[in-house]
Structure formats: C-alpha cells, structure tokens
Amino acid sequence: MTDRSASMSELAAAGKREGLLAGVSDAQLAYSFFRFSMGVVIFFHGAMRMITGVDAWVAKESQIFVGDPLLPMWFVVAFLYVLPTIEVVLGTLTMVGLFTRWVLLAGAVLMLVLTFGNLTRQDWGTVGNELHYVLYYTIMIAGLKYNRFALDTRKAG
C-alpha cells in the first residue's frame, strides 16, 4: 500500500474529504442537490407550457374552473397566463440559489395559491400533490443553513 492510498483511506475513515468537496458536509451536499432538483422541476413546469403554447394550455386548464363558485373566470385566465413566467423565474432562481430565502418563500406561497384554487374545485388528489410541494419548500426554508452551493453564498463570501 502506498503512502497516498494509506492517507486516502485514513481520510475516508475519519469522514474527511479532499478536493472539490473538502469541508462540505453531507447535509450541504444533499440540500444543494435537492434545491437544484426542485428548481429544475419548477422551471420546466413553466418552460414546457411556454414551449408548447401558453394559449392552448390556458384554454384547456381554464375549462376545469368553469362554474367554480369562488373564482371568477377572468381571474383564473389572468392567473394562468402569468403562472408559467412565475414558474420559470422561481425555478431558475431556485436552481442557481439566488435570493434563495425569498424565492423559497415565494414558491411556498405560490403553492398555497394553487392549492386554494384546487380546493375550490374539490380536487382532493391535486391538493394532496400540491401539499407535497408545500412540504418541500418548508423543508428547504428550514434547512437554509445548509445552502452551500448557491450564488447567495458566493455574493456573501
């Protein structure tokens, strides 16, 4: 066994890392991966609607709100037109970790707004799925101290 492999195994046994991940905890690595993944998901929610045509998506999606007792159609249609842009912006900022705390809070609020809309339609399955996103945002807000690989940490450091 060489001195290099001996020192590598000693580092591994002690839980220390060399190189790019030196000083990075497992929690920081996991948080960054989760934040980036969540950003990709939210980004593509909006981007794919833009790529495939917002008008067609709004026409289809607005029909499920016809007859909604609490939401006027003009509001539903207006909201649906701006939603893809909001998702692209929030997704991009989440991916790169810029203004992370505020972006995660905005994402959680957005999910509450979407949840409210589906509650008025009594679409309990979709509400359950949206609550998963609320949980993800809440976990990311609670874990902000692990936000290592982000533009926020670059500008602060």
Quickly list DSSP for 45-70. HHHHHHHH-HHHHHHHHHHTTTT-SS
Model pLDDT, residue 10: 54
Say if CB 50 and CB 9 are below 8 A apart.
no
Q: Could you tell me the residue ranges of all domains in the chain? A: 25-156
What whole-number distance in Å separates Cα of residue 22 and Cα of residue 44? 32
Say if CB 46 and CB 95 are below 8 A apart.
no
Model pLDDT, residue 153: 86
**Residue pLDDT tens, the chain, 157 long:** 555 555 555 555 555 667 778 888 999 999 999 999 999 999 999 999 999 999 999 999 999 999 999 999 999 999 999 999 999 999 999 999 999 999 999 999 999 999 999 999 999 999 999 999 999 999 999 999 999 899 998 865 5
**What are the CA-CA distances from residue 57 to residues 64, 82, 95, 118, 125 (Å)?**
12, 12, 25, 17, 20
What whole-number distance in Å separates Cα of residue 100 and Cα of residue 141? 9
pTM (2 d.p.): 0.84
Say if CB 38 and CB 94 are below 8 A apart.
yes
